[in-house]
Amino acid sequence: MTRRIVPLLCAAALIALPGTAALAQPRPANLEQLPPVPTDYAPPKTAWGDPDISHTYQHEFVQNTRVLFIRPTEYGNRFWQTEEEHARRVTAAERSDGNFAAASERGIGTSGTEGLADWVKSSPFAWRTSMLVSPANGQIPEFTPKAKALHESGRSGWVPGIEYDWVSDFDSWDRCVSRGFPASMYPFRYNNGIRIFQAPGYVTIALEMLGTRVIPIRTATNGVKHSPAGVEAWLGNSVGWWEGNTLVIETINIKSGDSVSPDHHARNGSPLNIATQAVPPFNTIPTSTQAKTVERLTMTGPNAITHELTYSDPEVFTAPWTTRVEWIRDDDYAFFEYACHEGNRMPRDYISASRAKRAGIAAGTVDPNAPDDRAQWSRIFDRDPAVAPPPAPPGAPAAAPTQGSRGG
C-alpha cells in the first residue's frame, strides 16, 4: 500500500486562482442552510460534445482536515462552521503542514508542505461540518431491525471476540477484494486519488485503491440499460447520463450479502468502510438486492468537482442518506500500483495466530480473559480538531468520543 503526499504545487493553490472562487459553493449566512450545488461553471467540451471532466482529483485534504462522515454532535444541525471553529481547523492544518521537514543530506524528510492549510483557508468546503448532508442532523439513519441484527452478528477482521478459521471470517477489504460500495467513493486513511477518463459513450472512474468503474452513457437514442437483476458486481452496475454539465450516475446490482454467512461467496462489501472517518464500525453492514446509489458529479470551477451521492437500501436503512464531498483537481497526483492482494499474508497469519491462541487456552498457557485490542474499533474515535477537546496527556483518562450516533 502506497501513500503519496501531495506536493506544494497543490490543488488548493489552483482553486484560489482568479475567477474560480466565485464558482465554488459559498458559506451562507444561515449556517443551517445548504444551498444547491452551483452549476454556473461550464467546463470545456470533449471532441464529441460532452462536458470535459477528465482530470486527476484527490480528496486527501478532506481526510486530513477531519471533515468527518458523520457530523460531530457539537455542530447540531449546522452544515457550516462558525469563524471560531474554522480558525481551529486552520490551526490544525498549519500544524499538520509544519510536520514536513526539509530533506537531510541522507534524503530523510520531505521538503515543502502538503499544502493543507492553503486549501482549508481557500475552499468553502473546508467550512463544512460533515460529509453527510441528509438527514439534516448529519447522522446515519437507523438500521432496520433485521439489518441491526446482521450488523451486530457479522464477522470481519475488526470484530472483537471472534476467532479466525477461514476466509469467510474476514471482510472483502481484509482480503484485498473490495472496499465495498459506495464506500469506495469516500476518503480513506490513504490512497485518496481519483482519475476520470472519457471516451465517446463512456466515462471511466479509476480509484487509487481497489476499483475501476466503466460507466456507459445513456443518450436519447442509444438505449443503454442496466445489467439484468442478479448480475451483481462489487462496485455495482452503473449507467450515466448528462443533465446539462452534471454527470448523473445510477448504480444498482451492488454485491449483496452480509458478514454473517459462512459462505464467502455470499458475503458483501460493507457500504461504509471503517477506514472512512466516523462511520459505523466493524465493516459488517449488510447490503440487500434493493441497494441503489445516485451520484451527481458537477465541476464547480476548473479545479474542483462536487460529488453528491444518495444511497438507499430500504432493507438496511430506515431512510436514504446523502453525502456531498469536494474532489480537488491535482493533475500531478501520481498513482502507483495498489498491489494489496499479492503477498497478502494477513488472513493466513490471523488464522494461524487464532488457532495458536485457542490451543494455548486449552493448554492453560494463554489467559482467556486477556484484553482484545479489536475492542477499540467498537467506538468512533476520529476527532474533528475544531470541536473536540485535545487528547488527554499521558496517564490521564481519555475523553469520551464526541462524534454522533452510529446507525442503530
Q: What pLDDT, in 10s, does the model give residues 359-378? A: 999 999 999 999 998 888 88
Distance CA 126, CA 171 (A): 32
At residue 340, the pLDDT reads: 85
Q: Is the pLDDT of residue 90 over 90?
A: yes
Residue 242's nearest CA partner among 57, 59, 43 is 43
Indicate if the pLDDT at residue 2 is higher than 50.
Answer: no
pTM: 0.87
Lowest mean pLDDT among 77-81, 234-238, 401-405: 401-405
Query: Residues, the chain, total?
Result: 408
Supply the mean pLDDT for the chain. Answer: 87
Which three three-digit cell numbers place residue 375? 475492542
> CA 366, 371, 374, 378 torsion: positive or negative?
positive
Q: Is the pLDDT of residue 408 over 60?
A: no
For residues 290 and 287, give the distance between their C-alpha atoms in angstroms, rounded to a whole number.
8
* pLDDT given for residue 5 in this prediction: 34
Q: In b/e form, how buried is each residue of 316-352, taking b as 16+ CB within 10 angstroms? A: bbeebbbbbbbbbbbeebebeebebeeeeeebeebbe
Is it the case that residue 333 has pLDDT exceeding 50? yes
> Mean of the pLDDT values across residues 123-131?
96
Tell me the mean pLDDT in the region 20-38. Answer: 79
pLDDT exceeds 70 at position 6: no
For residues 153 and 261, give the distance between their C-alpha atoms in angstroms, rounded to a whole number.
10
Cα distance between residue 314 and residue 330, in whole Å:
37
Write the CB contacts of 96 (distance below 8 Å, at least 6 apart in sequence).
64, 114, 116, 117
Q: What is the pLDDT of residue 233?
A: 96
pLDDT tens-digit readout, 248-275:
999 999 999 999 999 988 999 999 999 9
Percent pLDDT > 70 in the chain is 86
The percentage of residues in the chain with a pLDDT greater than 90, rounded to a whole number, is: 72
Beta-ladder partners of 80: 128
What's residue 407's pLDDT? 37
Residue 182: cis peptide before it, omega within 30 degrees of 0:
yes
CB 290 within 8 A of CB 314: yes
First-to-last CA distance in the chain?
33
Cβ count within 10 A of residue 93: 26
Q: What is the pLDDT of residues 168-186, one digit of tens each?
A: 899 999 999 999 999 999 9
pLDDT (0 to 100) of residue 13: 35
**What's the one-letter identity of residue 295?**
E
C-alpha cell read off for 385:
480538531
Mean pLDDT of 215-219: 96
Per-residue confidence at 112, pLDDT binned at 50, 70, 90?
A: low
Average pLDDT over residues 44-61: 96
Q: What is the mean pLDDT of residues 291-315?
A: 97
In tens, the pLDDT along 387-404 reads 866 555 555 555 444 443
Q: What is the mean pLDDT of residues 10-24?
A: 38
Three-state SS letters, the chain: CCCCCCCCCCHHHHHCCCCCHHHCCCCCCCCCCCCCCCCCCCCCECCCCCECCCCEEECHHHHHHCCCCCCCHHHCCCCECCHHHHHHHHHHHHHHHCCCCCCCCCCCCCCCCCCHHHHHHHCHHHHECCCEEECCCCCCCCECHHHHHHHHHCCCCCCCCCCCCCHHHCCCCCCCCCCCCCHHHCCCCCCCEEEEEEECCEEEEEECCCCEEEEEECCCCCCCCCCCCCCCECCCEEEEEEECCEEEEEEECECCECCCCCCHHHCCCCCCCCCCCCCCCCCCCCECCCCEEEEEEEEEECCEEEEEEEEECCCCECCCEEEEEEEEECCCCCCCCCCCCCCCCHHHHHHHHHHHHHHHHHHCCCCCCCCCHHHHHHCCCCCCCCCCCCCCCCCCCCCCCCCCCCCC
Residue 14's pLDDT band (cuts 50, 70, 90): very low
pLDDT band at 105 (very low <50, low <70, confident <90, very high): low
- Across the range 136-164, mean pLDDT stands at 95
What's the CA angle centered on 373, arms 371 and 377, to 5 degrees?
Answer: 130
Cα–Cα distances in angstroms (integers) from residue 315 to residues 136, 288, 408, in the given order = 22, 6, 14
* Residue 287 to residue 180: CA distance in whole angstroms: 10
